[in-house]
Structure 1
Amino acid sequence: MPSATECVASLIDNFQSRRPLRSGSLIITLYGDAIVPRGGTVWLGSISQLLEPIGINERLVRTSVYRLTQETWLQGEKVGRRSYYSLSGPGRRRFEQAFKRVYHGNGEAWDGGWTLVFLGQLDAGERTRAREELEWLGFGAFANGVLAHPRRHRSEVLGLLQELGVVEDVIVLHSETGEPLAPKALRLQVRESWNLDQLAESYNRFLAQFRPLWKSLSESQPLGDQDAFIARTLLIHEYRKVQLRDPQLPEELLPTAWEGRNARQLCRNIYREIYQGAERWLDRHLETAEGPLPAPGHNFYQRFGGLE
């Protein structure tokens, strides 16, 4: 059986073997998982130091940060000869939506209601843009021009449509479901609208990738602080990628044997085991213009139902 350190080396190899190397996405993971809880702004050189062992060199970090700034994920500030970056306003909104799924799961119990969005009154370009943004929020297509979600609130959708400038041309309704909450026809529609079989395959790949690390950690094979940081970053990076495609459906609408439950438990277990070592590594390597980043805020310790 490989040691925990060997498992981390394997995770790095797996990340480096993919083409194209999605360094920008990994930087967003780093911000969401490690930098935002500590104030949100960091020296560009800190990012390079942290990610170099994963295969992201300084040149690639600079190129990726520039692109993320152009895409309105990040915003920069010069202090002397150094550049410091934080999430922009739009970047923070997207971050909060995505990372809430990662750390806090499905949330409250489902009441059986659905939010329905009708895009038929939009022109083709507006309809495509609205559909893409709604799908990013987890909406699925129930029919041509009709998207639905069992959890997203109407107010949240209206806020998004307001940002897109199309709120006056879209119909948003909220429906109530009687008993049973999830009849057979509805569960079949859900499986088709969200392609749950493909999503299950993604969860299975995540489980296969990280189970060896958990097995080694369970057998009291500790990780050094740097390896703990690398493992935590890649863990959240890979889990986040699957979560972005997960519509966060209520339990009532999911298959009985749902791989997403096992994946969440595995991610939570590993994170709780290694986060402290990762935090020590971050203490030594993250800098702001005033010096080391502050300690994580209270919300950080609420992740995955509470960190010790």
Structure 2
Amino acid sequence: MKRLSSSEWIAAFLALEPPRHKSLVMTLCGDAMAPHGGGFWLGSMIELLAPLGVNDRLVRTSVFRLVQEGWLVASREGRRSRYTLEPRALPRFERANRRIYAPPGLDWNGRWTLVLAPNGSIDAELRGLLRKELQWEGYAMLAPGMMAHPAPDRDSLREILQRCEARDKVFVCEADELPGVGSRPLPQLVGDGWDLSGVVADYRHFIEGFAPLAALLEHKGELTPQDAFAIRSLLIHAYRRVQLHDPMLPVALLPQPWPGSEAYALAKTIYLQTWALAEEHVLAMLRREDEATPDADAAFYERFGGLRR
């Protein structure tokens, strides 16, 4: 069987699973723009996305909507438009990056974190906002007014409560099993609170789609910076979509073998195979509009356990 070239793989992937344009712009903001100061000229984003099948009209529409939603801030210099990451959105990008680039398999001390909002303590609007934000962070609603997670990121929880103006309106506590009373084991809450079947299916789909690419890249002599950028962007976009639905539970509470571990290893392999050439392309496009674009920051080189410079 003829082995696909990298450009042929990109074309086949885009034909089979075309990404949503606004979501793809968000992926680039986190993966490619944030390490270089978080700012970009519209022309740079248009050039970067063109090989991924996104025309300038769709880029403009996507960026405009991200400004409206509070993810980006717009400014103008003559006829040119420049965008930067909205400072209030930075913690959310940082939370997403921790999920994407850090390995799964949290240690667990057997305790659960509970967020309690008794009836009447908060209004319906705040209750709905908190539920949405905490569910995105992996919490499950175990009962009305009670959300729980066995191993949450405390900094993320603090940021969510502060941003939602709920810090002095809800109760946050920890709980563990009371020995000797004959209750159900707390780990069984996972089955009651989370349906992981969809996450498992999404991870397996990701593995099926990208495992052949890892093998192809072992023979990447013809890989260009533009193709490396396209592959890195599609990889992180697809992996990020799965991660958004993963509650990030401790490995001790997950069904084994957990496909998230295999998916992370695969994403890491492909990222390591493409990141350096992709960076050449990113910098070339950004510096075409702004020669002062900085090199990637130190945090960028910590992704996936460390990128060798």
TM-score (norm 1): 0.90
SS in 2 for 1:174: strand
CA drift at 1:110: 2.5
Distance 1:264 1:184 in 2: 32
3-state SS of 1:142 partner = strand
3-state SS of 2:33 partner: helix
Q: Which amino acid aligns with 2:36?
A: R
CA-CA distance at 1:112 after TM superposition: 2.2
1:113 pairs with one of 111, 114, 119 = 111
Q: CA 1:41–1:158 in structure 2 vs 1: closer, same or farther (change >3 Å)?
A: closer
More displaced stretch, 189-198 vs 224-233: 189-198
Report the CA distance shift for 1:77/1:45 in structure 2 as closer, same or farther (over 3 A). same
1:78 pairs, out of 76, 79, 83, with 76
Residues 50-59 or 289-298, more deviating: 289-298
The answer (yes or no) to whether the contact 1:154–1:172 under 8 Å persists in 2 is no
Corresponding residue number in structure 2 for 1:161:
161
- With 233-242 and 187-196 compared, the bigger mean Cα shift is at 187-196
Q: CA deviation at 1:143?
A: 2.3
Question: 1:110 and 1:94 mapped to 2: Cα distance?
Answer: 24
SS of 1:167's equivalent in the other structure is: coil
Q: Is contact 1:138-1:247 (8 Å) kept?
A: yes
Superposed CA deviations along residues 200-238 of structure 1, whole A, max 9, x for unmatched, are 001011111111111111345542111110000010001
Answer with 145-154 or 257-266: which moved more: 145-154
**Aligned-partner Cα distance in 2 for 1:83–1:93:** 24
- Report the Cα offset of residue 98 of structure 1: 0.9
Equivalent residue of 2:50, what SS? helix
Match of 1:149 in 2: 149
Report the Cα offset of residue 37 of structure 1: 0.6
Question: CA contact under 8 A between 2:110 and 2:176: conserved in structure 1?
Answer: yes
1:143-192 per-position Cα deviation (integer Å, ceiling 9, x unaligned): 2321111222556434422322233331211224589xxx9843432134
Q: 1:103 to 1:159 in 2, by over 3 A?
A: closer
Q: Is the 8 A contact 2:105 2:251 kept in 1?
A: no
Go from structure 1 to structure 2 and tell me whether the alpha carbon gap of 1:88 and 1:66 turns closer, same or farther (over 3 Å shift): same
1:124-273 aligned within 5 A: 124-153=124-153, 156-176=156-176, 185-220=185-220, 222-273=222-273
Alpha-carbon separation, structure 2, partners of 1:15 and 1:122: 42
User: Structure 1's 158 and 274: CA in aligned 2 closer, same or farther, altered over 3 A?
Assistant: closer
Secondary structure of the equivalent of 1:77?
strand
Partner of 1:87: 85
* 3-state SS in 2 of match to 1:115: strand
Please report the RMSD computed on the Cα atoms of aligned residues, expressed in angstroms.
2.2
Q: In the alignment, residue 9 of structure 1 is paired with which amino acid?
A: A
8 Å contact from structure 1 (residues 115, 154) kept in 2: no
1:104 pairs with one of 102, 105, 113: 102
Tell me what 1:8 maps to. Answer: 10
Gap regions ≥5 residues in structure 2: none
- Mapped to 2, the partners of 1:222 and 1:206 lie a distance apart of 25
Question: Residue type matched to 2:62 in 1?
Answer: S
Question: What is the deviation of 1:267?
Answer: 0.2
Asked if the contact 1:69/1:75 (under 8 Å) is kept, the reply is yes
Cα separation, partners in 2 of 1:221 and 1:178, compared to 1, 3 Å: farther
Shift of 1:102: 0.4
- Post-superposition offset of 1:61: 0.6
Distance (Å, rounded) in 1 between the aligned partners of 2:265 and 2:255: 17
Distance 1:155 1:230, change over 3 A: closer
- Label 1:207 to 1:170 Cα distance change in 2 as closer, same or farther (>3 A): same
**CA distance 1:246–1:293, change in 2 (3 Å):** same
Q: Secondary structure at the match of 2:256?
A: coil
Q: How many residues align?
A: 301
Letter in 1 for 2:97: F
Q: Normalising by structure 2, what TM-score?
A: 0.90
Matches within 5 A, 1:291-306: 291=291, 293-306=293-306
Matched residue, 1:37: 35
Equivalent-residue separation in structure 2 for 1:60 and 1:220 (angstroms): 31
Query: 1:199, 1:245 within 8 Å by CA — same for their partners in 2?
Result: yes
Contact 1:33 1:236 in 2 (8 A): yes
- Opposite residue 307 of structure 2, the aligned amino acid is L
Is the partner of 1:286 in helix, strand or coil? helix
